[in-house]
Amino acid sequence: MSNSNKILITGGAGFIGSHVVRRFVTTYPDYQVFNLDALTYAGNLENLSDLEAFPNYTFVKGDITDSGFVEDLFIEHDFKGVIHLAAESHVDRSISDPMAFVMTNVVGTVNLLNAARRAWRNDIDKHLFYHISTDEVYGELHNPEELFLETTKYDPRSPYSASKASSDHFVRAYHNTYGMPVVISNCSNNYGPNHFPEKLIPLMIHNVLNDKPLPVYGKGENIRDWLFVEDHARAIDVIFHKGKNGETYNIGGHNEWKNIDLVKLLCKIMDEKLGREENTSEGLIQYVTDRAGHDLRYAIDATKLKKELGWVPSLQFSEGLTKTVEWYLSNTEWLNNVTSGAYKHYYEEMYDRR
Ligand code: NAD
Ligand code: TYD
């Protein structure tokens, strides 16, 4: 690898990115960690306020769709590696505004690849472009025995997953065509602290706290495979340092839950934590119109990551979910801040539509 100690993490003010930035800044004092983030509705510097005093942490506000800005940044800093998380990440938003997903997820990724290629042209093999992707690129599963493997054919079915699949293809194309050293990981659904309250788990926590209905899409039969966000950050650390050039790694929790069962478990934990009578929160569940093109089931086989790089998830789901609920209960100010101001209008509009 290059002698530079500079690492660029994109999207570090978002949910997963903030946990990755914290892990790298606190575990590797010899790295200079740069967090590039446009601070969209999903990016929040409050997520990283504990890192402000760290001398090896720098925040850069900028948009990856701005090619000139991205190129200048790569020329100014000889980044040894890039961990690319910046993205539009919410499926429901991709249904109402697909172009924002094309811009950030596809154009933004290609801008980063171009800037890296130009800046690294004399010693490209000493660098690494690590692209963070999702299991949603593989489509949906129907056979209950089946799991997504690294070799599963891509079959994206939402504008979000189509944009992520496209970005994955560009990363592989730059590896094949220009010799760009790359790794890609495709992870299942994450949960944990700092998760923006429009995704399932934090939305339900927010609504229970505010005595609002809990909107379950369709019959609540859809299945997701949930992984605690710090386990994902640890997997990213392992893959960044030990992953093989050109390889793809699936990351997942072997932890499948039907949405309705997950929401009921969450309600039970919330009732206990809030000292409410049993089944109080469950009474808030409302079945609402299903998401258009709603993928039935996602489930990851993470055997390759376990066998080749020794990574396994560390937390049981009930433990991780309890930790998550406790975090939201002690961070009500964070929750109020992200659901107020400009975001409030969007949030209420989405909520009214359900
Ligand atoms: P998030 O929406 O919470 O955060 C995205 C971050 O990217 C925000 O800080 C936002 O400000 C920033 N960003 C958006 N557009 C930008 C732009 N044009 N320029 C610069 N910054 C921009 O997302 P997340 O849930 O933390 O997901 C991070 C990555 O992990 C994404 O690439 C996502 O596809 C992938 N992923 C997420 C999950 C999940 O369950 N959340 C699972 C697997 C993979
Ligand atoms: P989400 O957190 O949006 O993640 P993804 O769509 O990327 O898997 O949704 C997780 C599951 O929960 C998905 O099957 C859709 C469902 N869901 C609801 O039932 N109600 C909601 O209000 C939301 C946001 C999601």
Which position among 37, 88, 136, 256 bears the catalytic label? 136
d(Cα 303, Cα 211) in Å, to the nearest integer?
41
d(Cα 333, Cα 311) in Å, to the nearest integer?
34
Q: For the chain, what percent of residues have pLDDT higher than 90?
A: 93
Ligand nearest to the CA of 215: 2
**pTM of the model as a whole:** 0.97
Q: What is the mean pLDDT of residues 314-318?
A: 94
**From ligand 2's centre to the CA of 138, what distance in Å?**
17
pLDDT higher at 354 or 254:
254
The per-residue pLDDT for range 286-312, each reduced to its tens digit, is: 999 999 999 999 999 999 999 999 999
Helices of type H across the chain: 15-27, 67-76, 91-96, 98-101, 109-119, 159-178, 200-209, 229-242, 259-274, 303-309, 317-330, 332-338, 341-353
Q: Is 136 a catalytic residue?
A: yes
d(Cα 244, Cα 240) in Å, to the nearest integer?
9
Which position among 63, 88, 135, 198 bears the catalytic label? 135
* Residue 237: Cβ-neighbour burial (10 angstroms; 0-12, 13-18, 19+): middle
The per-residue pLDDT for range 119-150, each reduced to its tens digit, is: 999 999 999 999 999 999 999 999 999 999 99
User: Residue 274: CB partners within 8 Å, gap ≥ 6?
Assistant: 208, 209, 329
d(Cα 141, Cα 21) in Å, to the nearest integer?
32
Q: Is 135 a catalytic residue?
A: yes
Tokens of 258: 């039907």
Domain 6-190+226-254+294-316+343-352: which CATH number of 3.30.930.10, 3.40.50.720, 3.40.630.30, 3.50.50.60: 3.40.50.720
Best of 135, 191, 259 for a ligand 2 pocket test (most atoms within 8 Å of beta carbon) = 259
Q: What is the mean pLDDT of residues 3-20?
A: 96
For β-strands 189-191 and 57-61, DSSP reports them as unpaired
Q: What are phi and psi of 144, to 5 degrees?
A: -60, -20
Q: Tell me, what's the pLDDT at 3?
A: 82
Q: Tell me, what's the pLDDT at 2?
A: 76
